[in-house]
């Protein structure tokens, strides 16, 4: 893990992402309650609820997509450190810089480019679940995709500012 300096940008972004992460963490408790309720209804009362199953998928998606930016900001995401663990701090920072600029940010741009029309089309069609008794407003859960990746982009820009400061700033 790199010990990166804070920047003016990261001081504004990181606390907001941490707050979003705190709020998103409650989604998992809500998901657990929905799962337990659905299991109880199905096995104890013999009544399955399609709505509860779909809410489970939606909550899981929302928790994951909102949690991405928090995990990235907190540097708690999964990494494959086979190469970087053998490098010094400056080489790690260079690797991080290239990874952000050449891999993560272009990937996020592609997701945003294709997910926004995906959501708009769903909204224009008034898309609903195809399951009998399923949830309406399918566009709403689809909107979590660009939202989650927008937040990830913000986290990546914060991280980029910190890596840039580490490599080119006056803190040394």
The per-residue pLDDT for range 12-39, each reduced to its tens digit, is 999 999 999 999 999 999 999 999 999 9
pLDDT grade for 1, boundaries at 50, 70 and 90: confident
SS3 130: coil
76 domain-assigned: yes
Cβ–Cβ under 8 Å, residues 131 and 50 = yes
- Residue 48 belongs to domain spanning: 8-168
Is residue 1 situated within a structural domain? no
pLDDT tens sequence across 83-110 = 777 889 899 999 999 999 999 999 999 9
pTM of the full structure: 0.89
Per the prediction, the chain carries an average pLDDT of: 90
Q: How many domains does the chain have?
A: 1
**Does residue 88 sit within a domain?**
yes
Q: Specify the long-range contacts of residues 14-18, CB closer than 8 Å, at least 24 apart.
A: 14/73, 14/158, 17/69, 17/70, 17/73, 17/151, 17/154, 17/155, 17/158, 18/70, 18/73, 18/74
Backbone angles phi, psi at 129, to 5 degrees: -65, 145
């Amino acid at each position: 893990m790199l010990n990166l300096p804070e920047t003016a940008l990261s001081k504004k972004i990181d606390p907001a992402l941490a707050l979003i992460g705190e709020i998103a963490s409650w989604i998992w408790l809500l998901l657990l309650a929905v799962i337990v309720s659905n299991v109880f209804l199905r096995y104890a009362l013999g009544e399955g609820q399609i709505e509860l199953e779909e809410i489970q998928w939606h909550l899981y998606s929302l928790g994951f997509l909102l949690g991405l930016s928090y995990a990235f900001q907190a540097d708690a995401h999964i990494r494959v450190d086979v190469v970087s663990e053998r490098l010094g701090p400056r080489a790690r920072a260079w690797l991080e810089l290239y990874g952000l600029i050449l891999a993560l940010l272009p990937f996020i741009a592609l997701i945003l480019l294709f997910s926004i029309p995906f959501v708009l089309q769903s909204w224009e069609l008034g898309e609903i679940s195809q399951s009998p008794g399923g949830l309406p407003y399918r566009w709403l859960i689809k909107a979590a995709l660009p939202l989650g990746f927008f937040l990830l982009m913000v986290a990546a820009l914060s991280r980029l500012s910190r890596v840039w400061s580490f490599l080119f700033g006056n803190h040394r």
